[in-house]
Amino acid sequence: WTPQGGVISPILANIALLGMERLVKEMYPNKGTATQANLIRYADDFVVISKDLGIIEQCKTAISEWL
């Protein structure tokens, strides 16, 4: 258990987010100069961006299972 706003909380969140970012990049690697999906993270938040709603839904499912 870590308190919200504690020093260790952002570190643990970034470790988890790094794993999720790798998962998304493995599922949808760049094709030449085109990016299929992008996971953007800031502190302990993240968002997945893609032009294809199907890719976003698949990422949502994969991330839910990963967590």
Q: How confident is the model at residue 56 (pLDDT cuts 50, 70, 90)?
A: very high
- Give the whole-angstrom CA distance, residue 15 versus residue 10: 9
Q: How confident is the model at residue 17 (pLDDT cuts 50, 70, 90)?
A: confident
The tens digit of pLDDT for each residue in 21-49 reads 888 888 888 777 677 888 888 877 889 99
So what's the pLDDT on residue 54? Answer: 92
So what's the pLDDT on residue 45? Answer: 81
Closest CA to 6 of 46, 45, 44, 47: 44
